[in-house]
């Protein structure tokens, strides 16, 4: 090209324009990065317990709810929650002085987001009497939490035509003075994207609402179907396997050759932690391995809680003998931590049937493809339920894998004499029967109804010790309090 002075001038001009455009793009990019992706580490936690309760696992990226939307949803749509009182009506643990419940970590990734961690399902609450404040115990079964009601709440909110940027912003304005820029972002990007994401959940969770399957109720979910349908995207297969949230303290108790999960579906603690965490974060973040390492070390050593009420030690000592004669052959022997065939233990079959060898093979492939190393799911046909370690059993009511027996006294009754309808999720402790109060006006108001005739809820089987005399049963129960 012949570069005349005129051409030269034009070229310079074009160069300037290009530079300005590039700067604008860069600036815009930096701005977008700052407002949407800039990751701010959470402030350090005072101790392991705080980290377990409020620490992010990295799920806020893929599965977080923007903080201000999370805050206003119960105000906008209280009718989609199980009762009055906002999120507390879901039975989640909420400590005084905290702006979010236990199990709902807050993290800024561009903007503040609310995620979940293990504590949402693995924190128990108990009280000696209705007028007491609850005591929260981490790594315990989250017997009050209604996970299904939370999923349903979010989806119903998103489907409601009142879930619009205008309405959400109006609600936020009532409680928080958002900056002009953030308002624009919320209105034109964040709110519409969240609505869209939550609506996608509706299809992903449609299997939850199949005809003939009761609600999970408080303290349970359908863990293997969550894995099969949500994580592995396998076709619906007609199974329904509701299971209690278990305790996850003292994981050091699992020795080589023992397996975890109610049916022994997983080889070792690390594998269960990894799979549970992937269910929360969906995509492992950079620090995933380090997070898993911390969780494993913490939970291996976390001791089970001691029974906080009175124990008659003499009676417990005689109960120890009854235990040795009647229970130890499974619960303190080489059978412990290993499956007892379903035909032998005789409890409800649905949870066992909700998992299979092929699903385990598929699950191991999916996790390996994510680049995460673990020993993994047991690629075998499973035969029954694990003879559980009984550490901290006093806080693990209701009992059996599906939570069909409300307290220890009833577990020592033949199935025909166990209560057929009761209420789960009330946290006042029943020191006489060892378990939670499961009937009466308050338990009915707070809890979810559990009917043993519904699918997955059978209370049959495990009739060990039911023929003992009343005195020996009393002694045995006293001993069980001390484990
Ligand atoms: C949505 C509720 C939920 C969340 C969140 C959750 N779990 Fe669980 N967890 C369960 C249920 C239900 C089971 C029982 C599964 C079964 O049927 O075997 C379980 C089982 C386990 C077990 C096996 C216990 C045993 O002794 O067999 C461990 C360990 C565990 N979870 C750890 C975790 C960790 C660590 C996290 C967080 C990374 C987590 N869970 C998150 C509900 C949950
Ligand atoms: C033949 C083996 C066997 C014997 C004997 C046995 N159990 Fe069990 N136990 C099991 C199995 C298997 C399970 C899991 C069943 C299920 O969840 O469906 C279980 C579950 C339990 C649970 C519920 C654990 C939980 O987290 O909900 C308790 C409590 C319990 N057993 C106590 C006892 C007591 C007390 C005795 C003695 C009177 C006893 N067991 C005798 C095998 C046995």
Give CA torsion, residues 284, 287, 291, 293, to 10 deg. Answer: 100
The Å distance, Cα 146 to ligand 2 centre, comes to 25
Query: pLDDT at position 283, please?
Result: 87
Q: Whose CA is nearest to atom 9 of ligand 2?
A: 387
CA–CA distance, 328 with 326 (Å, rounded to integer): 6
- Confidence tier at 141 by pLDDT (50, 70, 90): very high
Q: What atom of ligand 2 comes closest to residue 465's alpha carbon?
A: 38
CA–CA distance, 22 with 479 (Å, rounded to integer): 74
**Is a pLDDT exceeding 60 seen at residue 80?**
yes
Tens digit of each residue's pLDDT (9 = 90 or more) over 353-371: 999 999 999 999 999 999 9
- Confidence tier at 286 by pLDDT (50, 70, 90): confident
**Is a pLDDT exceeding 70 seen at residue 100?**
yes
Closest ligand to 390 CA?
Answer: 2
CA angle 308–314–316, rounded 5-degree value: 55
155: its two tokens: 């989806």
Query: pLDDT at position 230, please?
Result: 87
Q: Cβ(270)–Cβ(419) under 8 Å?
A: no
Q: Whose CA is nearest to atom 10 of ligand 2?
A: 387
**Which candidate, 114, 113, 138, 107, places its Cα nearest to that of 124?**
138
What Rg, from alpha-carbon coordinates, does the chain have?
26
Query: pLDDT at position 63, please?
Result: 78
Query: pLDDT at position 306, please?
Result: 97
Q: Cβ(355)–Cβ(241) under 8 Å?
A: yes
Query: pLDDT at position 5, please?
Result: 64
Q: Which residue reads 């999916």 in tokens?
A: 366
**Is a pLDDT exceeding 90 seen at residue 171?**
yes
**Is a pLDDT exceeding 70 seen at residue 237?**
yes
Q: Whose CA is nearest to atom 41 of ligand 2?
A: 327
- Confidence tier at 460 by pLDDT (50, 70, 90): very high
* C-alpha distances in Å from residue 348, one per residue of 238, 455, 457: 16, 9, 7
8-12, 126-130, 224-228: lowest mean pLDDT where?
8-12
* C-alpha distances in Å from residue 229, one per residue of 89, 241, 350, 466: 27, 13, 16, 39
The Å distance, Cα 470 to ligand 2 centre, comes to 19
Q: Whose CA is nearest to atom 18 of ligand 1?
A: 261
CA–CA distance, 399 with 405 (Å, rounded to integer): 5
Whether the CB of 295 sits within 6 Å of ligand 1: yes
Query: pLDDT at position 12, please?
Result: 83
**Is a pLDDT exceeding 90 seen at residue 20?**
no
- Mark residue 91 as left, alpha or beta (left: phi above 0; alpha: psi -120 to 50; beta: remaining): left
Tens digit of each residue's pLDDT (9 = 90 or more) over 414-430: 999 999 999 999 999 99
CA–CA distance, 479 with 475 (Å, rounded to integer): 6
Instruction: For the chain, give the mean pLDDT.
Output: 94
Q: Which residue reads 């051409």 in tokens?
A: 7
CA–CA distance, 338 with 375 (Å, rounded to integer): 17
The Å distance, Cα 477 to ligand 2 centre, comes to 13
Report the residue among 59, 223, 282 best suited for mutation to probe ligand 1: largest number of ligand atoms under 8 A from its CB: 223
Residues with CB under 6 A from ligand 2: 262, 326-327, 329-331, 340, 344-345, 347, 385, 387-388, 390, 393, 396, 399-401, 411, 462, 464-465
Whether the CB of 138 sits within 6 Å of ligand 1: no
**Overall average pLDDT of the 124-152 stretch:** 97
Closest ligand to 407 CA?
Answer: 2
Tens digit of each residue's pLDDT (9 = 90 or more) over 204-233: 899 999 888 999 999 999 999 999 998 899
**Is a pLDDT exceeding 70 seen at residue 323?**
yes
- Confidence tier at 3 by pLDDT (50, 70, 90): low
Residue bearing the bigger pLDDT, 2 or 311? 311
30-44, 141-155, 188-202: lowest mean pLDDT where?
30-44
Query: pLDDT at position 9, please?
Result: 81
* C-alpha distances in Å from residue 315, one per residue of 56, 325, 386, 406, 410: 45, 16, 28, 23, 19
CA–CA distance, 116 with 65 (Å, rounded to integer): 10
Closest ligand to 387 CA?
Answer: 2
Query: pLDDT at position 414, please?
Result: 98
Query: pLDDT at position 318, please?
Result: 98
**Overall average pLDDT of the 381-391 stretch:** 97
**Is a pLDDT exceeding 90 seen at residue 2?**
no
């Amino acid at each position: 090209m012949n570069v005349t002075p005129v051409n030269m001038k034009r070229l310079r001009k074009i160069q300037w324009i290009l530079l300005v455009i590039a700067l604008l793009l860069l600036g815009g990019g930096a701005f977008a990065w700052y407002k949407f992706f800039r990751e701010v580490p959470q402030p350090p936690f005072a101790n392991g317990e705080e980290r377990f309760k409020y620490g992010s696992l990295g799920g806020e990226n893929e599965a977080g709810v923007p903080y201000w939307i999370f805050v206003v949803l119960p105000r906008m749509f209280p009718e989609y929650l199980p009762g009055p009182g906002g999120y507390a009506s879901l039975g989640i643990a909420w400590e005084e002085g905290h702006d979010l419940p236990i199990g709902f970590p807050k993290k800024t990734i561009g903007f503040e987001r609310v995620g979940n961690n293990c504590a949402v399902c693995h924190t128990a609450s108990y009280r000696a009497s209705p007028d007491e404040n609850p005591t929260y115990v981490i790594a315990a079964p989250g017997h009050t939490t209604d996970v299904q009601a939370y999923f349903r709440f979010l989806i119903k909110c998103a489907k409601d035509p009142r879930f619009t940027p205008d309405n959400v912003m109006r609600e936020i304005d009532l409680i928080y003075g958002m900056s002009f820029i953030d308002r624009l972002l919320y209105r034109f990007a964040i709110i519409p994207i969240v609505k869209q994401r939550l609506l996608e959940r509706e299809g992903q969770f449609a299997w939850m609402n199949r005809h003939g399957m009761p609600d999970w109720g408080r303290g349970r979910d359908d863990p293997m179907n969550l894995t099969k349908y949500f994580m592995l995207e396998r076709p619906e297969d007609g199974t329904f396997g509701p299971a209690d949230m278990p305790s996850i303290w003292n994981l050091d108790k699992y020795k080589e050759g023992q397996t975890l999960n109610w049916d022994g579906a997983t080889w070792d603690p690390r594998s269960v932690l990894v799979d549970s965490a992937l269910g929360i974060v969906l995509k492992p973040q950079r620090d995933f391995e380090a997070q898993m390492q911390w969780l494993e070390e913490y939970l291996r050593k976390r001791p089970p809680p001691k029974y906080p009420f009175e124990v008659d030690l003499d009676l417990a000592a005689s109960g120890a003998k009854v235990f040795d004669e009647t229970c130890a052959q499974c619960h303190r022997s080489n059978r412990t931590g290993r499956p007892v065939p379903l035909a032998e233990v005789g409890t409800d079959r649905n949870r066992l049937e909700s998992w299979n060898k092929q699903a385990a093979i598929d699950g191991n492939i999916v996790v390996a493809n994510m680049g995460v190393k673990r020993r993994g799911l047991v690629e075998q046909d499973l035969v029954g339920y694990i003879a559980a370690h009984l550490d901290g059993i006093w806080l693990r009511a209701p009992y059996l894998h599906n939570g069909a027996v409300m307290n220890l006294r009833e577990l020592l009754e033949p199935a025909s004499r166990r209560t057929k309808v009761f209420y789960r999720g009330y946290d006042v402790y029943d020191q006489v029967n060892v378990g939670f109060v499961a009937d009466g006006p308050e338990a009915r108001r707070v809890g979810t109804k559990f009917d043993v005739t519904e699918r997955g809820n059978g209370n049959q089987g495990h009739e060990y010790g039911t023929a003992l005399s009343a005195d020996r049963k009393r002694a045995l129960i006293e001993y069980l309090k001390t484990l």
